[in-house]
Structure formats: structure tokens, C-alpha cells
């Protein structure tokens, strides 16, 4: 399917004010075609406003790396969808495997976050993916399907165009070696078919992006696979030159 591509930078808990300024200055000099590719940067929470201000006159969008599933209240350390909207943030990442692992986020929490974010007009990238052990035991597809169905439970069809599914096989994240092309292709094909089964009438199903050690060397092959609508980039997104290279190669991919 010919859909607009999208490239996410997930900075995780990296960079600082000075390095972010320098990065954004360089990124804003990049000539890219925003009709062909969306760029979304996810900085650490404390740098969200600063990043939003710096990109405000550009075609670059900004995502929070997380949100909470209540509007407000006694939830120390959390940030609500309303607060993100209040500062002009339009995207949020939900369900990254590092949050599932270190912050013990469950599928139920992720579903509540996806519902609240989409119902309140935020765009969402919802991440899922299997562990190495699950892949080894032949459980990849049952795991992906379970996460997909539980994340999107009761999500209204009208919000699907505001959702991106991030497929990230957990063991390749940060490893420096992406998953095999055939495995990426198979997983994306599977997710695409399952989304069609879940929403048979929808004309605007979520885009599906791949994440896991994407860099400027492997992007060309990954982005041209069927059903790969973009990429979620961690380590390589910390270096503006590499990230810009990924954006441009995505823009010029076939499809």
C-alpha cells in the first residue's frame, strides 16, 4: 500500500539542552519533502517544550515518550494527555518495550493510554514486539497479535489514521544489528493482515513502522519492504547526520 512514510527519533534518556539545540539547528536545515515523509522527534520530557518551540515553524513534529492514563490527579511523576496538548505536543509514544520492561507497563495500561490519547486528539505510536525467547519458541506471531489486540481494544475506527504501530523485536533494539529482512517483512505482513481482520471496514488502517538498530546503512533495504511505512530510530537518531540520511533515504524509497 502506498502510504506516506514516517521516521521517528526516539532519544530515550539521552542528550542535553546544548546537544539538542545543535541537533535541531542541523535538522531544520535539512531539505526534505514533507508530502513524502513525516519526521517526529521524541525528546526526554524536560526538553519537550524547548524542542516544540525550536521546531514550531517547521514541518517537524514532536512526540512525548510516554503519558499517563488519567486526566489529572495524585500521580506523582506522571504527565497527562491534557498537559501534552497544553504545550502543543501532538504525538505520544506508548508501550515501548523499555517501559514494559523497566516500568512494568502492562497491556491494560497501554490500552488505557492509547484510548485516552486518541480520544483527546493526540497521535500515537504504539510499540510492540517479541522477545528473543518468544521468537525461538515460535511464539512471535501469537505474542504480536496479543499485544496488538490488547493495545487497540475498544479503539474507535475513526482514530486509526492517528495511530502508528511500531514493530520492534526486543532483542535487536540497541544491538547494532537489525532483524533479518525476511523476518521484518513477515511480521509487518502479519500485522497488516491482522489490522484488516480487526477493522474490515476501515480505509485508513494504522501505518506500521519497524524499529530495532535501524541505521543509515540498512535503512535502504528495510524501508523498501512491503508494509514497512517507516522506521523508529533509537541510537542512530542521536547523530543528526545519520538521522538526516535515514530521513532522505526514506523519502526516496520506492512505493
- Give the Cα separation of 168 and 215 in Å (integer): 14
Span from 104-112, 117-125, 180-188, 209-217 in contact with ligand PEP (CB under 6 A): 209-217
Instruction: Name the residue nearer to ligand PEP (CB basis): 192 or 237.
Output: 237
Instruction: Name the residue nearer to ligand PEP (CB basis): 64 or 173.
Output: 173
> Would you say 142 and 69 are in contact if contact means Cβ atoms under 8 Å apart?
no
Binding of residue 147 to ligand PEP (CB under 6 A): no
Binding of residue 214 to ligand PEP (CB under 6 A): yes
- Give the Cα separation of 139 and 182 in Å (integer): 17
Given the residues 98, 130, 134, 168, the one annotated as active site: 168
Distances 87 to 22, 78, 80, 91 between C-alpha atoms, Å: 22, 15, 11, 12
Q: How many angstroms from the chain centroid is the CA of residue 58?
A: 20
Largest CA distance in the chain: 49
What are residue 166's DSSP bridge partners?
A: 127, 209
Instruction: Name the residue nearer to ligand PEP (CB basis): 63 or 85.
Output: 63
Among 60, 151, 173, 179, binds ligand PEP (CB under 6 A): 173
Binding of residue 235 to ligand PEP (CB under 6 A): yes
Binding of residue 208 to ligand PEP (CB under 6 A): no
Size of the site for ligand PEP (CB under 6 A): 13
By the 10 Å C-beta count (0-12 exposed, 13-18 middle, 19+ buried), 64 is classed as: buried
Binding of residue 43 to ligand PEP (CB under 6 A): no
* CA-based nearest residue to 44, from 80, 18, 84, 16: 16
Instruction: Name the residue nearer to ligand PEP (CB basis): 121 or 174.
Output: 174
- Restricted to residues 2-41, the positions that interact with ligand PEP (CB under 6 A) are 10
Catalytic residues, by residue number, are 96, 168
Residues forming contacts to ligand PEP in the complex (CB under 6 A) are 10, 168, 173-174, 211-214, 232-236
Amino acid at each position: 500500500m502506498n502510504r506516506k512514510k514516517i521516521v521517528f527519533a526516539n532519544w530515550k534518556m539521552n542528550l542535553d539542552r546544548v546537544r539538542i539545540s545543535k541537533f535541531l539547528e542541523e535538522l531544520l536545515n535539512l531539505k526534505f519533502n514533507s508530502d513524502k515523509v513525516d519526521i517526529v522527534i521524541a525528546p526526554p520530557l524536560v526538553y519537550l517544550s524547548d524542542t516544540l518551540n525550536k521546531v514550531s515553524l517547521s514541518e517537524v513534529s514532536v512526540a512525548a515518550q510516554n503519558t499517563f492514563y488519567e486526566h489529572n490527579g495524585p500521580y506523582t511523576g506522571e504527565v497527562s494527555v491534557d498537559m501534552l496538548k497544553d504545550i502543543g505536543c501532538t504525538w505520544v509514544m506508548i508501550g515501548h518495550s523499555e517501559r514494559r520492561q523497566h516500568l512494568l507497563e502492562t497491556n491494560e495500561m497501554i490500552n488505557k493510554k492509547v484510548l485516552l490519547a486518541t480520544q483527546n486528539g493526540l497521535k500515537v505510536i504504539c510499540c510492540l514486539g517479541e522477545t528473543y525467547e518468544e521468537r525461538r519458541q515460535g511464539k512471535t506471531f501469537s505474542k504480536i497479535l496479543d499485544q496488538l489486540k490488547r493495545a487497540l481494544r475498544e479503539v474507535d475506527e475513526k482514530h486509526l489514521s492517528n495511530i502508528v504501530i511500531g514493530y520492534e523485536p526486543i532483542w535487536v533494539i540497541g544491538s547494532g544489528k537489525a532483524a533479518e529482512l525476511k523476518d521484518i517483512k513477515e511480521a509487518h505482513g502479519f500485522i497488516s493482515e491482522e489490522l484488516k481482520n480487526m477493522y474490515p471496514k476501515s480505509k485508513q488502517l494504522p501505518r506500521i513502522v519497524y524499529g530495532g538498530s535501524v541505521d543509515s546503512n540498512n535503512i535502504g533495504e528495510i524501508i523498501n519492504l512491503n508494509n514497512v511505512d517507516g522506521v523508529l530510530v533509537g541510537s542512530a537518531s542521536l547523530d543528526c547526520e545519520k538521522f538526516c540520511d535515514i530521513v532522505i533515504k526514506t523519502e526516496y524509497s520506492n512505493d
